[in-house]
């Protein structure tokens, strides 16, 4: 049967692998994978010595974290790593046996936050611990003394880096329902912000709490009088410090098996009586509420209290749920959320694949801003490194360019010198060639033609001597048409004697 303090967890990883974690009497804390159809495969025992009342979550790295009490009174922390389950004792429980109850766990970034109650003889103390990944858990810190009579003494809701915890404090005169905020960045708690002061000695108890993506806090709680119980909705907007209040339903029976969820701009408060589910809804974020209605859940199977959680990076930005009524036989089925997702799928049927890709990408990018900032920082660092390498390369390139310019100048100078040397060599070769020719001419004997010319000159001399008139005739003939070949020194001498 549905029992708000006896829930099972359905956790879905980024790879769409679904894990079921539950407590079973006689076996202890168990886990089992769910098939694609939702049916549970053979379960395995995580902690045989576990006591009822565990809590679980899944972080952005798909690591599942569990906190649970053990039979010896200690507090156990169990987590998954590379397909293996590892357990660690974070509190020995020496103070008392079975005194730690009402466990909750929140994962923000790399830090885990454990919440639980230590029951003592005359009071209940609300405590929390922090644990950073593989480091040991920090010491317990006391948040407040709470009212002992509440069914579940506190509720948590989370927005960004802020955890809201709602509870009834144990005031000496009268109890007060209120809220405190824990700022993760500053690591401090705010003062107790009163939601309702019960001065008329009317018993009250927080039922559920949830934050929307604007930072507005929504809670439902119960007022109890001798004649009836009232289901009350309160809201504190992020821009205000005051709480608005509306009564949603009244009954002679309590509303402890109740919870709250936000689906887009739709707010739902439901409660379970035996196999029947009733609810009130607001379509405008909590301003106006409908009258109570019966929810039609098409299943004849037993109802269980199920906590459905996804990897935070893939979680829808407009869906905030706590516990849900559901069934587990022949595959798990969740009330409210399944109907909402089916309606959304029909509306998005006209959206093409590219639009869906853009929407899903935006959801992933905005799902975890811290990781995106770290990724951007790593990119900036790589860009800086590349810029430094580029600057060094440019310096080396400048040096190489200067060296190449200098080498080009040297080559031009060498080329000019080589040309000068070529000219000089050519001049020397020509000069040597001319000298060689002159030497050859000087060393050659007189040719036959020159010898014939010498003989002719001798004959002419003889003729001239024997017959001067003929010689004169010949001389004139030579002077007229023969050129200067007949003019000799002897000829000139004969003219001088005349």
- State the pLDDT at residue 474: 45
Domain identity same for 272 and 319: no
| β-bridge partners, 105 | 114
Structural domain contains residue 426: no
Last residue of a domain, one of 296, 320, 349: 296
Structural domain contains residue 126: yes
Structural domain contains residue 399: yes
Domain identity same for 133 and 164: no
Q: Which two tokens stand for residue 47?
A: 């902690």
Structural domain contains residue 26: yes
Residue that has been written with the tokens 């040991």 in this structure: 136
CB 279 within 8 A of CB 269: yes
- State the pLDDT at residue 478: 44
Mean pLDDT by 10 residues, the chain (498 residues): 91 91 95 76 90 95 95 93 89 74 94 94 91 90 85 90 92 80 94 78 80 94 89 94 94 93 93 94 95 89 92 83 89 87 70 54 57 71 81 82 84 84 83 81 63 63 54 46 56 60
Domain identity same for 373 and 487: no
CB 11 within 8 A of CB 62: no
Residue 156: closest CA among 257, 57, 266: 57
Q: In the chain, how many domains are there?
A: 4
Domain identity same for 273 and 319: no
Domain identity same for 104 and 31: yes
Q: Which two tokens stand for residue 429?
A: 């070769």
Structural domain contains residue 362: no
Domain identity same for 5 and 111: yes
Backbone angles phi, psi at 487, to 5 degrees: -80, 115
Q: What is the DSSP string of 203-237?
A: EEEEEEEEE-TT--EEEEEEEE-SS-EEEEEEEE-
Domain CATH for 1: 2.120.10.10
Domain identity same for 266 and 327: no
Domain identity same for 100 and 228: no
CB 206 within 8 A of CB 167: yes
Last residue of a domain, one of 272, 296, 320: 296
Domain identity same for 139 and 23: yes
- State the pLDDT at residue 355: 57
The pTM for the full model equals 0.69
SS3 content of the chain, % helix, strand, coil (to 5): 30, 40, 30
Structural domain contains residue 428: no
Domain identity same for 77 and 98: yes
Structural domain contains residue 61: yes
Domain that holds residue 388: 368-418
- State the pLDDT at residue 229: 92
Structural domain contains residue 438: no
- State the pLDDT at residue 440: 75
The whole-angstrom separation of Cα 338 and Cα 345 is 10
The whole-angstrom separation of Cα 223 and Cα 85 is 43
Domain identity same for 132 and 73: yes
The whole-angstrom separation of Cα 21 and Cα 8 is 6
Residue 80: closest CA among 119, 98, 107, 41: 107
Using the 8-state DSSP alphabet, how is residue 279 labeled?
Answer: E
Domain identity same for 61 and 104: yes
């Amino acid at each position: 049967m549905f029992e708000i303090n006896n829930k099972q967890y359905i956790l879905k990883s980024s790879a769409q692998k679904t894990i079921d974690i539950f407590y079973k009497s006689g076996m202890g804390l168990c886990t089992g994978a769910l098939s694609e159809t939702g049916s549970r495969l053979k379960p395995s025992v995580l902690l045989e010595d576990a006591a009822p009342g565990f809590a679980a979550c899944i972080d952005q790295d798909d690591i599942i974290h569990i906190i649970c009490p053990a039979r010896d009174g200690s507090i156990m922390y169990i987590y998954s790593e590379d397909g293996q389950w590892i357990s660690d004792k974070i509190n020995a429980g020496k103070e008392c046996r079975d005194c730690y109850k009402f466990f909750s766990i929140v994962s923000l970034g790399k830090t885990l936050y454990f919440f639980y109650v230590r029951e003592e003889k005359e009071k209940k103390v609300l405590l929390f611990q922090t644990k950073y990944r593989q480091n040991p858990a920090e010491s317990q810190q006391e948040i407040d003394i709470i009212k002992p009579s509440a069914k579940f003494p506190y509720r948590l809701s989370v927005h960004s880096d802020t955890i809201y915890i709602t509870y009834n404090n144990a005031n000496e005169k009268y109890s007060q329902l209120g809220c405190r905020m824990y700022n993760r960045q500053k690591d401090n708690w705010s003062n107790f912000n009163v939601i309702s002061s019960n001065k008329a000695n009317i018993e009250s108890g927080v039922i559920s709490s949830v934050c929307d993506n604007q930072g507005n806090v929504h809670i439902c709680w119960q007022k109890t009088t001798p004649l009836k119980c009232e289901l009350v909705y309160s809201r504190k907007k992020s821009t205000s410090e005051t709480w608005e209040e509306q009564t949603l339903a009244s009954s002679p029976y309590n509303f402890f098996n109740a919870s709250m969820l936000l689906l887009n701009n739709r707010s739902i408060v439901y409660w379970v009586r035996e196999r029947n589910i009733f609810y009130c809804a607001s379509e405008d974020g909590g301003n106006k509420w409908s009258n109570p209605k019966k929810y039609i859940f098409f299943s004849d199977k037993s109802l269980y209290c199920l906590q459905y959680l996804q990897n935070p990076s893939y979680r829808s930005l407009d869906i905030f749920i706590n516990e849900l009524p559901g069934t587990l036989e022949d595959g798990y089925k969740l009330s409210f959320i399944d109907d909402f997702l089916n309606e959304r799928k029909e509306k998005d049927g006209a959206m093409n694949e590219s639009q869906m890709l853009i929407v899903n990408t935006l959801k992933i990018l905005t799902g975890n801003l811290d990781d995106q900032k770290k990724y951007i920082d790593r990119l900036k660092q790589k860009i800086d490194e590349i810029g430094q390498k580029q600057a060094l390369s440019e310096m080396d390139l400048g040096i190489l360019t200067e060296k190449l310019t200098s080498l080009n100048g040297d080559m031009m100078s060498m080329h000019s010198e080589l040309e000068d040397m070529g000219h000089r060599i050519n001049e020397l070769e020509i000069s040597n060639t001319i000298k060689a020719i002159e030497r050859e001419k000087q060393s050659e004997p007189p040719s036959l033609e020159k010898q014939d010319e010498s003989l002719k000159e001798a004959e002419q001399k003889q003729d001239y001597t024997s017959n001067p008139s003929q010689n004169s005739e010949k001389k004139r003939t030579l002077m007229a048409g023969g050129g200067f070949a007949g003019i000799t020194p002897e000829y000139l001498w004969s003219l001088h004697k005349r």
